[in-house]
Structure 1
Amino acid sequence: MTEKLEQYKERVNVLKEKGELIPDAEILLEEMLAELTELNRSNKALRRVILKSGQGSAMSTRLRDALYE
């Protein structure tokens, strides 16, 4: 995802340099990129927590079956 995020940022920068963005669109894109960056960071942190918690305990068969239903 980080690579894709960098591609988005680069594309926005190219459009800004060419002057093809109206100010409102530029502000909106910057806000969206900032939110996407934060969500990406949060997603990575949650994945780490899930991986760590999965190593310490095994889920019971009943719980696993109930979650999959």
Structure 2
Amino acid sequence: MTENQDSYKERMSSLKEKGALPPEAENLMEELLTRLAEAERSNLALRRAALKAAGGQTMSTRLRDALYE
């Protein structure tokens, strides 16, 4: 899990403890966090597949950073 996801979970937990988070909102946020995790796993798999399809050639750091923005 990424730092952002951990941060979101901590913030959600804090809101829940304060009673500022209705159950419906909590369920929605949990679903969104699950989908975010799935999207990150999928993104990583696609990156690996693209690298493998390119014959293992890596691109320059500048190009990679520009493409991933």
When the two structures are superposed, what TM-score results if normalisation uses the length of structure 2?
A: 0.70
Identical residues among aligned pairs (%): 56
- RMSD over aligned CA atoms reads 1.9
Q: May I ask how many residue pairs the two structures share in their alignment?
A: 57
In structure 1, the residue matched to 2:19 is 19
In structure 1, the residue matched to 2:49 is 49
In structure 1, the residue matched to 2:32 is 32
The ranges of structure 1 where at least 4 consecutive aligned residues each deviate by more than 4 angstroms after the TM superposition are none
C-alpha separation between the residues in 2 aligned to 1:4 and 1:56? Answer: 30
C-alpha separation between the residues in 2 aligned to 1:33 and 1:42? Answer: 14
| Unaligned stretches of 5+ residues in structure 1 | 58-69
C-alpha separation between the residues in 1 aligned to 2:27 and 2:56? Answer: 44
In structure 1, the residue matched to 2:5 is 5
Which structure exhibits the higher relative contact order, with contacts defined as CA atoms closer than 8 Å and separated by 6 or more residues? 1
- Which structure carries more helix by proportion? 1
C-alpha separation between the residues in 2 aligned to 1:4 and 1:41? Answer: 14
C-alpha separation between the residues in 2 aligned to 1:38 and 1:44? Answer: 10
Could you list the per-position Cα deviations for residues 34-60 of structure 1 after superposition, in whole angstroms to 9, with x for gaps in the alignment?
A: 111111111111111111111268xxx
Deviation at 1:19, TM superposition (A): 1.8
C-alpha separation between the residues in 1 aligned to 2:6 and 2:52? Answer: 28
Letter in 1 for 2:29: L
